[in-house]
Amino acid sequence: MRAVGLHSDVVVATSRAYATTCTLVRGGGEAFCIDSPVFPDELEILPAMARQAGFDVVGLLATHADWDHLLGRYAFPEAPLGCAETTAARLVNEPGVAQRELREFDDELYLERPRPLSLPGAQRLPVPGHVEVGDRGLELHPADGHTPDGMAIWLAFAGVLVCGDYLSPVEIPALSPGGSLAAYLATLARLEPWVEQAAHVVPGHGGPVDGTRALAILREDRAYLETLRERGADAPLPPARRSATQRRVHAQNVARL
Protein backbone atom coordinates (compact mmCIF):
# COMPACT_ATOMS: atom_id res chain seq x y z
CA MET A 1 0.00 0.00 0.00
CA ARG A 2 1.32 3.41 -1.00
CA ALA A 3 0.40 6.60 0.87
CA VAL A 4 0.75 10.19 -0.32
CA GLY A 5 -0.13 13.49 1.32
CA LEU A 6 -2.22 15.84 -0.81
CA HIS A 7 -2.55 18.44 1.97
CA SER A 8 -1.46 18.68 5.59
CA ASP A 9 -4.90 17.32 6.51
CA VAL A 10 -5.50 14.90 3.60
CA VAL A 11 -3.64 11.61 3.05
CA VAL A 12 -4.50 9.04 0.37
CA ALA A 13 -3.49 5.38 0.60
CA THR A 14 -3.71 3.24 -2.54
CA SER A 15 -4.24 -0.50 -2.17
CA ARG A 16 -2.38 -3.16 -4.13
CA ALA A 17 -5.79 -4.60 -5.06
CA TYR A 18 -7.44 -2.78 -7.96
CA ALA A 19 -5.47 0.37 -6.96
CA THR A 20 -8.40 1.09 -4.63
CA THR A 21 -8.05 4.39 -2.78
CA CYS A 22 -8.64 5.25 0.87
CA THR A 23 -8.63 8.89 1.96
CA LEU A 24 -7.94 10.16 5.47
CA VAL A 25 -9.22 13.70 6.11
CA ARG A 26 -8.60 15.61 9.33
CA GLY A 27 -10.32 18.52 10.99
CA GLY A 28 -9.20 19.75 14.40
CA GLY A 29 -8.45 16.68 16.49
CA GLU A 30 -10.68 14.30 14.53
CA ALA A 31 -10.44 12.44 11.23
CA PHE A 32 -12.61 10.46 8.85
CA CYS A 33 -11.58 7.49 6.73
CA ILE A 34 -13.24 7.56 3.30
CA ASP A 35 -13.50 4.15 1.59
CA SER A 36 -10.88 1.51 2.32
CA PRO A 37 -7.88 -0.50 1.17
CA VAL A 38 -8.56 -4.15 0.38
CA PHE A 39 -5.88 -6.60 1.55
CA PRO A 40 -5.88 -7.75 5.19
CA ASP A 41 -2.31 -6.57 5.83
CA GLU A 42 -3.17 -3.11 4.48
CA LEU A 43 -6.18 -2.83 6.77
CA GLU A 44 -4.07 -4.02 9.69
CA ILE A 45 -1.43 -1.30 9.28
CA LEU A 46 -3.87 1.51 8.39
CA PRO A 47 -4.62 2.50 12.04
CA ALA A 48 -0.91 2.75 12.89
CA MET A 49 -0.27 4.76 9.73
CA ALA A 50 -3.12 7.11 10.65
CA ARG A 51 -1.90 7.55 14.24
CA GLN A 52 1.67 8.19 13.10
CA ALA A 53 0.41 10.96 10.82
CA GLY A 54 -1.73 12.43 13.61
CA PHE A 55 -5.12 11.33 12.23
CA ASP A 56 -7.47 10.20 15.01
CA VAL A 57 -10.13 8.37 13.03
CA VAL A 58 -13.57 8.74 14.61
CA GLY A 59 -15.79 7.89 11.64
CA LEU A 60 -15.98 6.13 8.29
CA LEU A 61 -17.49 7.35 5.03
CA ALA A 62 -18.22 5.16 2.01
CA THR A 63 -18.69 6.67 -1.43
CA HIS A 64 -20.93 3.75 -2.45
CA ALA A 65 -21.90 0.21 -1.46
CA ASP A 66 -19.49 -1.89 -3.55
CA TRP A 67 -17.71 -4.31 -1.21
CA ASP A 68 -14.17 -3.06 -1.87
CA HIS A 69 -15.09 0.37 -0.46
CA LEU A 70 -16.69 -0.96 2.76
CA LEU A 71 -13.78 -2.58 4.58
CA GLY A 72 -12.90 0.28 6.92
CA ARG A 73 -14.55 -1.53 9.84
CA TYR A 74 -11.64 -4.00 9.81
CA ALA A 75 -9.25 -1.14 10.53
CA PHE A 76 -11.51 0.94 12.78
CA PRO A 77 -14.09 -1.45 14.28
CA GLU A 78 -15.58 1.12 16.68
CA ALA A 79 -16.01 3.89 14.09
CA PRO A 80 -19.56 4.51 12.81
CA LEU A 81 -20.17 4.33 9.07
CA GLY A 82 -21.81 7.21 7.20
CA CYS A 83 -23.00 7.13 3.61
CA ALA A 84 -25.54 8.62 1.24
CA GLU A 85 -29.17 7.69 1.80
CA THR A 86 -29.07 5.80 -1.50
CA THR A 87 -26.11 3.74 -0.30
CA ALA A 88 -27.73 2.99 3.06
CA ALA A 89 -30.84 1.84 1.21
CA ARG A 90 -28.76 -0.39 -1.05
CA LEU A 91 -27.08 -2.02 1.95
CA VAL A 92 -30.52 -2.74 3.43
CA ASN A 93 -31.97 -4.00 0.15
CA GLU A 94 -28.95 -6.19 -0.66
CA PRO A 95 -28.30 -7.95 2.67
CA GLY A 96 -25.17 -10.05 2.67
CA VAL A 97 -24.12 -9.14 -0.88
CA ALA A 98 -20.96 -7.25 0.14
CA GLN A 99 -19.97 -10.06 2.52
CA ARG A 100 -20.52 -12.73 -0.15
CA GLU A 101 -18.49 -10.85 -2.78
CA LEU A 102 -15.69 -10.30 -0.26
CA ARG A 103 -15.64 -14.03 0.53
CA GLU A 104 -15.43 -14.84 -3.19
CA PHE A 105 -12.47 -12.46 -3.59
CA ASP A 106 -10.72 -13.94 -0.53
CA ASP A 107 -11.37 -17.52 -1.63
CA GLU A 108 -9.87 -16.86 -5.04
CA LEU A 109 -6.66 -15.43 -3.53
CA TYR A 110 -6.53 -17.72 -0.47
CA LEU A 111 -6.83 -14.77 1.90
CA GLU A 112 -7.91 -14.97 5.53
CA ARG A 113 -9.61 -12.20 7.52
CA PRO A 114 -9.64 -11.92 11.32
CA ARG A 115 -13.46 -12.01 11.35
CA PRO A 116 -16.44 -11.71 9.00
CA LEU A 117 -17.24 -8.25 7.64
CA SER A 118 -19.70 -6.50 9.96
CA LEU A 119 -21.84 -3.71 8.51
CA PRO A 120 -24.20 -2.47 11.22
CA GLY A 121 -26.78 0.12 10.29
CA ALA A 122 -25.12 3.00 8.48
CA GLN A 123 -25.81 6.63 9.31
CA ARG A 124 -27.84 8.07 6.43
CA LEU A 125 -26.36 11.35 5.23
CA PRO A 126 -28.45 13.80 3.20
CA VAL A 127 -26.95 14.21 -0.26
CA PRO A 128 -26.54 16.91 -1.44
CA GLY A 129 -25.52 18.14 1.96
CA HIS A 130 -22.67 18.63 4.39
CA VAL A 131 -20.92 16.68 7.13
CA GLU A 132 -18.38 18.01 9.61
CA VAL A 133 -15.17 16.47 10.86
CA GLY A 134 -13.80 18.58 13.68
CA ASP A 135 -13.70 22.15 12.40
CA ARG A 136 -13.84 21.16 8.71
CA GLY A 137 -16.95 21.03 6.57
CA LEU A 138 -17.17 18.44 3.80
CA GLU A 139 -19.60 18.87 0.91
CA LEU A 140 -21.52 15.80 -0.25
CA HIS A 141 -22.78 15.53 -3.84
CA PRO A 142 -24.80 12.78 -5.59
CA ALA A 143 -22.71 10.39 -7.69
CA ASP A 144 -24.83 7.65 -9.22
CA GLY A 145 -24.61 5.98 -12.62
CA HIS A 146 -21.77 3.53 -12.04
CA THR A 147 -24.13 2.02 -9.45
CA PRO A 148 -27.62 3.16 -8.41
CA ASP A 149 -26.14 4.84 -5.31
CA GLY A 150 -23.22 6.99 -4.33
CA MET A 151 -21.75 10.32 -3.35
CA ALA A 152 -18.70 12.42 -4.10
CA ILE A 153 -17.03 14.46 -1.35
CA TRP A 154 -15.61 17.93 -1.98
CA LEU A 155 -12.89 18.98 0.49
CA ALA A 156 -12.96 22.68 -0.29
CA PHE A 157 -10.28 23.60 2.26
CA ALA A 158 -7.77 21.37 0.44
CA GLY A 159 -9.04 21.59 -3.13
CA VAL A 160 -9.54 17.80 -3.17
CA LEU A 161 -12.46 15.93 -4.75
CA VAL A 162 -13.01 12.33 -3.58
CA CYS A 163 -15.34 10.95 -6.23
CA GLY A 164 -15.72 7.19 -5.80
CA ASP A 165 -15.68 5.06 -8.96
CA TYR A 166 -15.50 7.93 -11.45
CA LEU A 167 -12.62 9.66 -13.26
CA SER A 168 -10.27 6.71 -12.96
CA PRO A 169 -6.95 6.85 -14.85
CA VAL A 170 -6.93 3.03 -15.11
CA GLU A 171 -10.60 2.06 -15.63
CA ILE A 172 -13.17 3.04 -18.23
CA PRO A 173 -16.66 4.02 -17.03
CA ALA A 174 -18.37 0.85 -15.85
CA LEU A 175 -22.14 0.38 -15.75
CA SER A 176 -22.70 -2.01 -12.88
CA PRO A 177 -26.03 -3.79 -12.31
CA GLY A 178 -28.45 -1.03 -11.42
CA GLY A 179 -26.23 1.59 -13.01
CA SER A 180 -27.34 3.96 -15.76
CA LEU A 181 -25.59 5.57 -18.70
CA ALA A 182 -27.78 8.67 -18.43
CA ALA A 183 -27.15 8.98 -14.70
CA TYR A 184 -23.41 8.47 -15.25
CA LEU A 185 -23.34 11.35 -17.73
CA ALA A 186 -25.33 13.48 -15.29
CA THR A 187 -22.80 12.74 -12.54
CA LEU A 188 -19.92 13.77 -14.81
CA ALA A 189 -21.70 17.05 -15.53
CA ARG A 190 -22.35 17.55 -11.82
CA LEU A 191 -18.71 16.90 -10.89
CA GLU A 192 -17.19 19.03 -13.64
CA PRO A 193 -17.26 22.39 -11.77
CA TRP A 194 -15.41 20.85 -8.81
CA VAL A 195 -12.91 19.08 -11.05
CA GLU A 196 -12.16 22.44 -12.68
CA GLN A 197 -11.39 23.89 -9.23
CA ALA A 198 -9.57 20.88 -7.80
CA ALA A 199 -5.88 20.68 -7.12
CA HIS A 200 -6.29 16.90 -6.80
CA VAL A 201 -8.99 14.35 -7.59
CA VAL A 202 -9.12 10.98 -5.80
CA PRO A 203 -10.95 8.37 -7.91
CA GLY A 204 -11.98 5.07 -6.41
CA HIS A 205 -9.29 3.25 -8.41
CA GLY A 206 -5.95 4.34 -9.79
CA GLY A 207 -4.57 6.72 -7.19
CA PRO A 208 -4.93 10.50 -6.95
CA VAL A 209 -4.47 12.66 -10.06
CA ASP A 210 -4.07 16.40 -10.46
CA GLY A 211 -7.03 18.49 -11.51
CA THR A 212 -5.82 19.03 -15.07
CA ARG A 213 -5.48 15.32 -15.73
CA ALA A 214 -8.82 14.60 -14.04
CA LEU A 215 -10.54 17.10 -16.31
CA ALA A 216 -9.04 15.37 -19.36
CA ILE A 217 -10.25 12.00 -18.03
CA LEU A 218 -13.74 13.45 -17.49
CA ARG A 219 -13.90 14.60 -21.11
CA GLU A 220 -12.66 11.22 -22.36
CA ASP A 221 -15.24 9.41 -20.21
CA ARG A 222 -18.05 11.64 -21.48
CA ALA A 223 -16.99 11.06 -25.09
CA TYR A 224 -16.83 7.29 -24.50
CA LEU A 225 -20.30 7.12 -22.96
CA GLU A 226 -21.89 9.32 -25.61
CA THR A 227 -20.35 7.17 -28.33
CA LEU A 228 -21.35 4.00 -26.48
CA ARG A 229 -24.95 5.21 -26.53
CA GLU A 230 -24.75 5.86 -30.28
CA ARG A 231 -22.55 3.01 -31.52
CA GLY A 232 -22.69 0.31 -28.86
CA ALA A 233 -19.92 -2.26 -29.27
CA ASP A 234 -18.18 -0.11 -31.90
CA ALA A 235 -17.47 2.71 -29.45
CA PRO A 236 -13.69 3.24 -29.09
CA LEU A 237 -12.18 3.03 -25.63
CA PRO A 238 -10.18 5.96 -24.19
CA PRO A 239 -6.61 5.78 -25.54
CA ALA A 240 -4.80 4.88 -22.29
CA ARG A 241 -7.46 2.42 -21.11
CA ARG A 242 -7.64 -0.30 -23.75
CA SER A 243 -6.34 -3.32 -21.86
CA ALA A 244 -7.97 -6.73 -22.12
CA THR A 245 -9.66 -6.13 -18.76
CA GLN A 246 -11.15 -2.82 -19.91
CA ARG A 247 -12.35 -4.43 -23.15
CA ARG A 248 -14.25 -6.93 -21.01
CA VAL A 249 -15.76 -4.04 -19.04
CA HIS A 250 -16.76 -2.46 -22.36
CA ALA A 251 -18.48 -5.68 -23.41
CA GLN A 252 -20.41 -5.70 -20.12
CA ASN A 253 -21.41 -2.07 -20.70
CA VAL A 254 -22.77 -2.98 -24.13
CA ALA A 255 -24.76 -5.86 -22.65
CA ARG A 256 -26.30 -3.55 -20.00
CA LEU A 257 -27.38 -0.77 -22.36
pLDDT digits (tens, 9 = 90+) for 12-62: 999 999 999 999 999 999 999 999 999 999 999 999 999 999 999 999 999
pLDDT exceeds 90 at position 246 = yes
Q: What's the pLDDT band for 166 if we cut at 50, 70, 90?
A: very high
Q: How confident is the model at residue 172, as a pLDDT?
A: 98
Q: In the structure, what pLDDT confidence band is assigned to residue 112 with cuts at 50, 70 and 90?
A: very high
Is the pLDDT reported for residue 175 higher than 90?
Answer: yes
Domain ranges of the chain: 2-256
> In angstroms, rounded to a whole number, what is the distance separating the alpha carbons of residues 101 and 87?
17
pLDDT of residue 120: 87
Give per-residue pLDDT as tens, 209-241.
Answer: 999 999 999 999 999 999 999 999 999 999 999
With cut-offs at 50, 70 and 90, classify the pLDDT of residue 87: very high
What residue spans of 110-180 are helical by DSSP H?
none
pLDDT band for 257, please (50, 70, 90 cuts): confident
Q: Is the pLDDT of residue 121 over 90?
A: no
Cis peptide, bond prior to residue 128, ω within 30 of zero: yes
* Beta-strand relationship, 81-84 and 21-27: unpaired
- Give the tens place of pLDDT for each residue, 124-156: 999 999 999 999 999 999 999 999 999 999 999
**Following DSSP, what letter does each residue of 185-226 receive, concatenated?**
HHHHHHHHHHHHH-SEEEESBS--EEHHHHHHHHHHHHHHHH
Separation CA 208–CA 6 (nearest Å):
9
Coil, helix or strand at residue 103: helix
CATH topology of domain 2-256: Metallo-beta-lactamase; Chain A (3.60.15)
